[in-house]
Structure 1
Amino acid sequence: MDLLTRFTTHIYQRHLFTKKDRLLLAISGGVDSVVLGALCKRAGFDMGIAHCNFQLRGADSDADELFVKRLAETWNVPFYSIRFNTRVFAEENKLSVQEAARALRYEWFGELRKRELYDYVLTGHHANDDIETLLMSFFRGTGINGLTGIKEKNGAVIRPLLFAKRTELEQYLNEQSLSFVQDASNLKDHYTRNFIRNRLLPQVAGIYPEVEQNLIGNIHRFQEAYALYQQSVAQYRKKLVSRKGSELYIPVLLLLKTAAPATVLFEIISDYGFSAAQLPEVLALTESDPGKFIKSATHRVIRDRKHLIIAPLAAAAGSRVLVEAPGDYFFEAGTLKIRRRKKEGAIPVAADTAWIDARLLTFPLTLRPWKTGDYFYPLGMNKKKKVARFLIDLKLTATQKEQVWVLEMGQKIVWIVGLRIDNRFRITDTTGEIIEIHYKK
C-alpha cells in the first residue's frame, strides 16, 4: 500500500478530519512538513499553509520562508507567514530558544486558525518524533502519561503522520521528486532531541535492529495502559476525596490501604500545583503529627487527625488595598507610586515600572495578593494565561510566589506587580497620556 493510500486510510479510520474541514498546515519546508502538504494536496483536502520565521539562522531562515511561499503558490493554496524575535522572547520569559519557538508558533497557529476560519491545524510530526519524545520523557523521569508519546489529536491540533517513519517520508519525497529545505541545526547534537536521533538510536539499532518498530509498539501499549490507569485513578479519586467548601479531604488510613498510595496521592495533589519532587514530603504527612503541612504555590496539604486536607492558601487579613486615585500606596510587599503624565521618552525596561494607557484605566483599583483562578493576558500575547502557570514558568520559589501581588480594575488584572503588565492595558502609538506605576520593595 503506497503512502498516500495509507495516509487517507489512517485519517478516516482514526476519524481525524474529513473533506468538509478546512486544514491549516504548519509547513517549515523540511521533509516531514513538505510530505504532509503534498499528501493533503493530492488527497484533495481544503488547505492553507502557515510558516513561522523564527529569525534564528539569518539568511537561511528568510530563504526557508521564501521556499514555503513558492510551495504554496505551486499548490495554489493560501499562504500565511509571521516573523518572531525568538531570542528576545526567550530571554524575557526565561525560556530556552526551543521552548520559546514552540510557545510562539502554537499561539500564532491558534489565532490564525480562528481568524481565517480553519477547522484544524496540522503538523508534520511522524513516528520517529514520537520515539524521540518517549525517550526524552523516560530519561528525564516521568509518570505513565509521559510514556504515551505525542498526542495525535490535541484540541484543534492534529498530527496525522504519526503512523509513518522518517524513512518512509524520505522515500515518498524522492519518488515524487519533491524539493525541501534542510535546517542545518537538525544535524547538530547539542540539542537533546538531535542527540537521540543522530547518535543514540543508531547505536542502539546496532544491537537491536528493530528498535524503532519495537518502541512504536511500546508507545501503543503504553497508551492503552494509560487509558486503564486513568479509569482506575478516577475510581480511587471518587472513593477517597470528599469536598467541604473550598477544601478537599482524603482519609489517611483509606489512602494507605490502596494498592499504590503514592501514585494515587500524586494524581490528586498534582491538580493543585504540587510537583513530583514534593510527593515524598506530602506522603510523609501520613505519618506526621496533626497540624504539619506542605505548600504549593496555591495550596497547602495539611495533616489533620484522620485526613489530609487540601486547602487554598489564605490571603493575609487586611491585605486588600483600595487605590482610589494616583498617589502613594503602602502594602505588605512594598510601595506603589502612581502618577498620571504625558507619554514622553522610551518605555522603561525595568520590571519595577509599568506604563499603562490612561484611557483604559478607571479608578478605583484594587491591590491584592494573587489567588488561585487568577488569569491575565501577558504583554505581547492575545491569549489568557493563569497567573499560577505564569509564576511557575518564571521558576519563582514558593516564598517568592507568596509575595506576588496584582493590581486589578474590576475583574481585570492590570499588572502583576513588578513582573508583567496585562496586554489589554499596554500603551500604543496613539497613547497620549499614561499612568506610570513604580514599585519599590
Structure 2
Amino acid sequence: MQLLQAFKDFVDKEALFSSNETLLVAVSGGMDSVVLCELCCRAGFDLIIAHVNFQLRGEESVRDEAFVREMGRRLGKQVMVERFDTTRYASEKKCSIQVAARELRYQWFEQVHAGPILTAHHQDDNIETLLMNFFKGTGIAGLRGIQPRQGRIVRPLLFATKEMLRQFAGEQGLSWVEDSSNASDKYTRNYFRHQLIPLLQSVYPGVTAHLADNIQRFREIEVLYRQGVEQYKKKLLEKKGEEVHIPVEKLRRSQPLHTLIYEIIHPLGFSPQQVSSVVALLDAGSGKYVLSASHRILKDRNWLIISPLAEAPADHVLIESPAGKVLYEGGTLDLQLLTVQAPTADASIAWLDTTAMQFPLLLRKWRPGDYFYPLGMRKKKKLARFFIDNKLSLAQKEKVWVLEMDKKIIWVVGMRIDDRFRITERTKQVLRIAFLPR
C-alpha cells in the first residue's frame, strides 16, 4: 500500500484538490485509469467516473464502455458515459484523430463537471511528453512536461512510474482492459514509448530517472525564467489600445535577444522559426512586417508595432441620407442637417456647406494617389504628403478613412475637411458630421 500513501502525499504537496470536493475521474478502462480510480476510492475521496467512447475500435470500444460501467457498479460510484463520432469531428475540424479525441474529451469533461477533473497521466507519460516537446522545439515551457494541475485538469499520478502502477494493480488483484492501438507505433507517442526510450535506456540505463529529476528542475527553472521575462516585458512593451509598441534600439540592446523576442511573439501565434525574421526587422526599412495567423509585427521608423490582424470588413460604405448614424470599421459617423451656426474647431466634427453637395456619399479607406484641398489652402495636396506633415505613423495611416462625393474628397475623417466645402457667409444649410472612433 506504499503507492496509496505516496498518492496522498503528492496530492497534499501539490495542493491538487481538497478532501471535500467531488472529483470527476476519467476512466478509459486501461490499467492507469483503473489504478487512479482505485486510489481515489481508498483515499476516501468522493468521485464520479467519466468514460468517453470514441467509437474508433469497433467491438473493443463497446467492451471498454461495458467494463467501466461494471466497474462503477462494483465500486458503487456514478458512471457518466458519452459517445462521439470522432472520425467525423476530425474530418470537419481538419485535424488528426488524436487531436479530435483530446478536444472532444476535455470539452465534455468541462461541460459536465465544475470541480477537479482527474486524468491518469503518470511519470512515463511525462518523460515522453518532455522528449516530444524537446524535439519539436517548444522552448522552456515544454521542458517542464505535464503540469500536476492546469486549470481544473489534475494529474495526481505524475509521481508514479508505469511499473509502480502495474505492481500495485497486480498486488491488489485489479482487472483492466487493453487498448490494442497502444501497440501500434504509427502514433508519435507510441514510437517514443516503444522505440526511442528503450534505445536511450540501452545507452544510459538510468535515463528515465534522470529525466524525471530534470522535469522537476525545469519546473523550478521556469519560475525564475518567467520572472525575468516579465521584467523585460514591462520595460520594453508599451500598450497603446490594441497595439503594442516596442522601441527598436531598446530591444536591440536587450539580451538574450532571440529568447526575449520568442517570448514576446510566441503567444501571438508566431513560430520559433519567425524569431530571426523579427530580428531582421530591427534593421529593416519602415513598412516591413512579419505576419502570424492573428497578428502583424510592423517596423515603423524607431518602433516595432504589434497589432491584431483586422477581420475583413467592408472597405467602403455608401451613405444615402444626410441624417442618422453610420457604423463602420473605424467607428461611427453621426450626420445631422442644421441651419447655419458657427463651427467648432474640433477636428472630429466636420461642418460642411451643403450647397455643392449631393448624395450618396462614399465612405472608404484612403488610397495612394488620393488628394484634397485642405481647409485654408487653395492648392491641392496628396494625402500621403498630408500624413507626413502631420507625423502619422504607418499604423495610423492604415486606419484613415475619407468621405468622398463624386470622386472629390470632402473630409479626411477626424482630421481635416476639404476647403471647397467649408462654411461661408453665403451658407444656408450645414451638414454636421461627428466622428466617434471605436
Tell me, yes or no, whether TM beats 0.5: yes
The Cα offsets for residues 86-120 of structure 1, whole Å up to 9 and x where unpaired, read as 11111111111111000000000111113xxxx21
The letter for the 2-side match of 1:154 is: Q
* Cα 1:240–1:45 shift into 2, 3 Å: same
Find the counterpart in structure 2 of residue 377 from structure 1: none
Find the counterpart in structure 2 of residue 101 from structure 1: 101
The letter for the 1-side match of 2:97 is: V
Find the counterpart in structure 2 of residue 30 from structure 1: 30
| Percent identical | 48
Whether 1:294 aligns to 2:290 is: yes
Partners of 2:57 and 2:312 in 1: how far apart? 50
Please say which structure displays the higher CA radius of gyration: 2
The letter for the 1-side match of 2:179 is: D
8 Å contact from structure 2 (residues 14, 148) kept in 1: no
Structure 1 unmatched runs, 5+: 323-441
Whether 1:141 aligns to 2:153 is: no
Find the counterpart in structure 2 of residue 129 from structure 1: 125
Whether 1:200 aligns to 2:196 is: yes
* Cα 1:44–1:317 shift into 2, 3 Å: closer
Partners of 1:104 and 1:316 in 2: how far apart? 30
The Cα offsets for residues 60-92 of structure 1, whole Å up to 9 and x where unpaired, read as 110000000000001001000011111111111
Partners of 1:299 and 1:29 in 2: how far apart? 43
Match of 2:165, SS state, is helix
Give the paired residue count.
Answer: 318
Superposed counterparts of 1:392-411, under 5 Å = none
Find the counterpart in structure 2 of residue 306 from structure 1: 302
How far did 1:204 drift?
A: 1.5
How far did 1:312 drift?
A: 3.1
Partners of 1:132 and 1:182 in 2: how far apart? 20
How far did 1:234 drift?
A: 0.2
Partners of 1:72 and 1:124 in 2: how far apart? 17
Find the counterpart in structure 2 of residue 364 from structure 1: none
How far did 1:6 drift?
A: 0.7
Find the counterpart in structure 2 of residue 218 from structure 1: 214
Partners of 2:56 and 2:316 in 1: how far apart? 45
Partners of 2:232 and 2:72 in 1: how far apart? 51
The Cα offsets for residues 353-398 of structure 1, whole Å up to 9 and x where unpaired, read as xxxxxxxxxxxxxxxxxxxxxxxxxxxxxxxxxxxxxxxxxxxxxx
Whether 1:151 aligns to 2:147 is: yes
The letter for the 2-side match of 1:227 is: V
* Cα 1:7–1:277 shift into 2, 3 Å: same
Match of 2:196, SS state, is helix
Find the counterpart in structure 2 of residue 272 from structure 1: 268
User: What TM-score, normalized by structure 2, do the two folds share?
Assistant: 0.70
Partners of 1:90 and 1:306 in 2: how far apart? 45
Match of 2:203, SS state, is coil
The letter for the 1-side match of 2:238 is: S
The letter for the 2-side match of 1:302 is: L
How far did 1:321 drift?
A: 7.3
How far did 1:252 drift?
A: 1.3
Find the counterpart in structure 2 of residue 45 from structure 1: 45
The letter for the 1-side match of 2:16 is: L
Find the counterpart in structure 1 of residue 255 from structure 2: 259
Superposed counterparts of 1:6-405, under 5 Å = 6-114=6-114, 119-314=115-310, 318-319=314-315
How far did 1:293 drift?
A: 1.4
How far did 1:318 drift?
A: 4.4
Partners of 1:269 and 1:199 in 2: how far apart? 35
The letter for the 1-side match of 2:225 is: Y
How far did 1:257 drift?
A: 1.3
* Cα 1:320–1:19 shift into 2, 3 Å: farther
Partners of 1:164 and 1:251 in 2: how far apart? 48
Match of 2:72, SS state, is helix
How far did 1:26 drift?
A: 0.0
How far did 1:317 drift?
A: 7.7
Partners of 1:252 and 1:213 in 2: how far apart? 45
Match of 1:287, SS state, is coil
8 Å contact from structure 2 (residues 52, 105) kept in 1: yes
Partners of 1:90 and 1:207 in 2: how far apart? 39
Match of 1:181, SS state, is coil
Structure 2 unmatched runs, 5+: 319-438
Partners of 1:64 and 1:284 in 2: how far apart? 54
